[in-house]
Amino acid sequence: MKTENLQCRHNRASLICVRNLCACYSASGVQENKILQNVNFDLFAGECLGLVGESGSGKSTIARVLVGAPVSHTGTIWYAPDAGKSRLEFCRWVQLITQSPHTALDPMWTVFKTLKEPLQIHRKISREGVRDEVENLLAAVHLSKDVMGRKPAELSGGQKQRIAVARALAVRPRVLICDEIISALDSCVRHEILELLQSLRASRGLTLLFISHDIPAVEFLSDRIIMLEDGRIRTFRGESKWSARS
């Protein structure tokens, strides 16, 4: 992980700067399957950057690389200095929310235990103060404290995804990477989650990387949009139009 002072156009700070990112998976132990090829982009402080593309285009691979998952890759990724130098500091700085709310939560843990763990590990919240903090997190994602004693099997898909968002918020991240987090939800709940993310971004000053194949959802939430096709950035939309990118 490289950190440095990053300044970019319009005098906005770049929290993540990706240059010439290539990634591959081993298909047979010998042959490599290329997933990403020469991907370049910046994630600016305070924005929501949308990343769209068909399944298999490499969107989730980008998310995994950015959070330090073990993906074979080349290229350079710079992070802003406040990302920290240790793995623990970095995990507090950026949080990833994944696609399936049904597999993201431990089926044996109650909501209270799920939210208590990051509070105690990352923020050192005392045993006496944990309950209040858990209630605050639930309120932030528009859930009642009545769900604290429930396990995932007792929650709807939308409730599970809200708990996943609350767990990410527990460490007070600066960057939130949302990887297809509405794809497993019905249309009404999808819109509720989008509005929740929009509200949290405004109230908490979050920077978002929002990954989806749902273009209307990305357009609703994002300031800029990148389209990924076959592992390459094909198009980019800024404030007013699409423009071709090599």
Helix (H, G, I), strand (E, B) or coil at 231: coil
pLDDT recorded at residue 244: 35
How many helical (H) and strand (E) elements, i.e. helices and strands, does the chain have?
8, 11
- What's residue 13's pLDDT? 84
The pLDDT assigned to 126 comes to 86
Instruction: Tell me the per-residue pLDDT of 49-73, one tens digit each, with 9 for 90 and over.
Output: 999 998 888 999 999 999 999 888 9
| Ramachandran angles phi, psi of 181, nearest 5° | -75, -5
Asked if the model's pLDDT at residue 30 lies above 90, the reply is no
Produce one character per residue of 24-53: b if its CB has 16 or more CB atoms within 10 Å, e if not.
beeeeeeeeeebbbebbbbbbbebbbbbbb
The pLDDT of residue 74 is: 94
CA 15 – CA 81 distance, rounded (Å): 8
Greater confidence, 85 or 175?
Answer: 175
SS (H, E, C) 63-76: HHHHCCCCCCEEEE
* Residue 24: band (very low, low, confident or very high) from pLDDT cuts 50, 70, 90: confident
Q: How many residues does the chain have?
A: 246
Per-residue pLDDT, averaged over 194-204, amounts to: 95
What token pair was written down for 190?
């999808």
Region 128-142: mean pLDDT is 95
Question: Per residue in 161-189, pLDDT tens?
Answer: 999 999 999 999 999 999 999 998 898 99
Question: Which of left, alpha, beta for 218 (phi over 0: left; psi -120 to 50: alpha)?
Answer: alpha
Evaluate whether 32 touches 26 at the Cβ level (below 8 Å): yes
Q: Supply the pLDDT for residue 100.
A: 82
Domains of the chain: 2-240 (3.40.50.300)
